[in-house]
Amino acid sequence: MSHPTFEHLSVSSPDPTVYVITMQKPPENRLTVAFAQTIISALRYIETTIELGKPGCIVIEGSDAKFWCTGVDIEENTQNPYASNDGFYPLVATLIDYPLPTTALLTGHTFGGAGVLSLSCDYRIMNSERGFWCMPPVNLGLHFDGIGALVRLKLRPQIAWRALLDSAGHH
């Protein structure tokens, strides 16, 4: 089955009910407004191709072994105070409410907003050979409303504290 093309993404379906979204945006799959909206478009496309009530699932992976995603594009967010409202937050909301199971296949480093993005999926599988999952915004003293609830819901307390404190340089 052929799928439409999406900028910086590929969509494949190794099985009629399994869809793989591969992020391919240099550098490091940083989340800009446009890229987040493209991912949402791919998710909506997949949603319309699977019959309601039929089994199906989504896997979101990176295109290389070094980086899954390095979070929101800080430069864009500095220039556009609404960037997260227009891109990142709608993407997280789309994944949280998505009608099919979603898995983040963390092929490499997963930093900041990418950690939140992975937590918005139902499941996460981390490459055991390479990559760090961390939250550098903690080290910078940044706060994102509502994100703490996602960390508390998806990670056991010991794991959440370790991930957040290691990110802040506390060991």
CATH number at residue 161: 3.90.226.10
SS3 132: coil
**Number of folded domains that form the chain:** 1
103 part of a folded domain: yes
3 part of a folded domain: no
68 part of a folded domain: yes
pLDDT of residue 168: 45
SS3 124: strand
63 part of a folded domain: yes
pLDDT higher for 65 or 140?
65
What strands, in cross-sheet order, belong to the sheet with 109-111?
67-69, 109-111, 133-134
Q: Is the dihedral of CA 147, 149, 169, 115 positive or negative?
A: negative
- The candidate with the shortest Cα–Cα distance to 19, out of 3, 41, 6, 35, is 3
42/36 Cα distance (integer angstroms): 10
- Residues in the chain, total: 171
Q: Residue 171: which pLDDT band, with cuts at 50, 70 and 90? A: very low
Q: Which two tokens stand for residue 86?
A: 């227009």
154 part of a folded domain: yes
**pLDDT tens-place string over residues 56-68:** 899 999 998 899 9
51 part of a folded domain: yes
**pLDDT tens-place string over residues 78-130:** 999 999 999 999 999 999 999 999 999 998 898 888 988 999 999 999 877 77
Does the pLDDT of residue 170 top 50, yes or no?
no
104 part of a folded domain: yes
Q: Residue 132: which pLDDT band, with cuts at 50, 70 and 90? A: confident
DSSP E strand boundaries for the chain: 9-15, 18-23, 57-62, 67-69, 102-106, 109-111, 123-126, 133-134
> Across the strands, what pairs with 102?
58
Domain that holds residue 128: 9-167
> Across the strands, what pairs with 117?
none
Q: What is the pTM of this model?
A: 0.85
pLDDT of residue 160: 60
Does the pLDDT of residue 15 top 90, yes or no?
no
- The candidate with the shortest Cα–Cα distance to 104, out of 92, 122, 130, is 122
